[in-house]
Amino acid sequence: MIELTEHEPSGSIRLSVEERDSIMRLMPRATVTPVANESDLYSINPKNYVGLITTGSQTIQIKPKIGIERTFFLLSYALNPKQWRNDPVAIKDDTTLNEVLAVVFCRRARQALRRHVLHGYVETDDSMHGLRGRVRFADQLRRHHRMTVPLEVTYDEHTVDILENQLLLAALDKLRRLQHLPSQTQQELARLRHTLHDVTLKQFHPRAVPRPSITRLNQHYEAALKFADLILRNRTLELDTGVSSGDSLLFDMADVFETFVHVALREALDLEQQTFPTASDIPALHLDRSGAVRLRPDISWWDGSECLLVGDIKYKRDEQGDGLQPDLYQVLAYAHAAQISNGTLIYAKSEVEETARHETIGGIDLYVEALHLDGSPAAILDEIAKIASKLSERRAAGRSRAA
């Protein structure tokens, strides 16, 4: 196994052309640099990526710089801020992120399935020699030209082969195909797979994983479904054939950090999703009067259609140009479009020093906040609370600006 660390270049690694190309497709922002005077030796810098990938004969494990425990905290808190304390895992020096995720998913799935496998009604079309449900008259006449057996019918079947169980099974199957999981975890995954033996194994595209509505009937599945969603939305499943994406579980720490900070700030501010939406769900915010240039800030606070506060979340500084400046330009554009007097840029602590304030010529104040990730979960959430308090003050101070 090849062991790498996030944002650190490796030594010389021997790769075939196919393995090199697969790694570059799996991690498009990573760098794979040829070693001078060698035809098959490369140095790999995984950049933001952490996790495990398998390609050809190579298995690559990438460790996060902030450690497995803190990384898993960011992931689990973002999934469910109310239940992250219920996911303690004994983490040793050689424990990997994939092992932790598999152990916690098994725990959540076992809790969901403890009483019984969830049943539900599924609408089924069938040809039968007796009447069940309702006749599909158009299909009946098209196929048989008269009302005779077999009958084309539609009926509701009470079954375990429902979406909730299909999602759990798909996540179990993906985890089972990961290499280097402890035998005890593999056995637990197999037992859970057997519990769902009457469920159809389906493949879900990571950009179109359905999310069942949580009701009184399936609420005991909620925690397990959140972890299944995290596993199935993993970007490595998007790749074409020729790459062993099914044996990979890869995370972009920039996405992990941005999602955590947004969720944690919303919790600290005690706001609803509609008031403090994700970037993909914000109301219309445009840089130009014609509405051609759409903006999607990571942080935005709304009162109906009025934007009261904007900001952005960055795990790493922009590597192009002069580092911090392009990110400040971006926040300046957000504040200008929202016609408010300030904007906030939040970095992981390793990227900037302590907080800063930049008074721009146009009258918009740009604030830079540094979030430390080297403390305990409680310490990280305490820093989030302090940043949230500053955001609340900036929202109140943001005055309307002339268009």
For 28, counting Cβ atoms within 10 Å of its Cβ (0-12 exposed, 13-18 middle, 19+ buried), the class is: exposed
> What is the DSSP pairing of strand 299-303 with strand 306-314?
antiparallel
**pLDDT at res. 124:** 72
pLDDT single digits (tens) 30-51 = 999 999 988 899 999 999 999 9
Q: Which residues contact 395 (CB under 8 A, 6 or more apart)?
A: 301, 308, 309
For residue 22, pLDDT over 50 is answered with yes
For residue 402, pLDDT over 70 is answered with no
Please state, rounded to an integer, the average pLDDT across all residues of the chain.
87
Question: Which of 9-23, 136-150, 197-211 comes out lowest in average pLDDT?
Answer: 136-150
67, amino acid identity: G
CA dihedral 358, 363, 364, 366 (to 10 degrees): 0
pLDDT band of residue 242 (cuts 50, 70, 90) is very low
pLDDT single digits (tens) 50-99 = 999 888 778 899 999 999 999 999 999 999 998 888 777 777 777 889 99
pLDDT single digits (tens) 176-204 = 988 788 899 999 999 999 999 999 999 89
For residue 237, pLDDT over 70 is answered with no
More confident residue, 228 or 122: 228
How many Å from the N-terminal Cα to the C-terminal Cα in the chain?
Answer: 58
Q: What is the mean pLDDT of residues 104-133?
A: 82
For residue 230, pLDDT over 60 is answered with yes
**pLDDT at res. 308:** 95
Q: What is the mean pLDDT of residues 363-378?
A: 93
Q: What is the mean pLDDT of residues 283-304?
A: 93
The alpha carbon of residue 175 and the mean position of all alpha carbons in its chain are separated, in whole angstroms, by 16
Q: What is the mean pLDDT of residues 113-126?
A: 83
Cα–Cα distance for residue pair 299/161, rounded to 1 Å: 39
249 bridge partner residues: 52
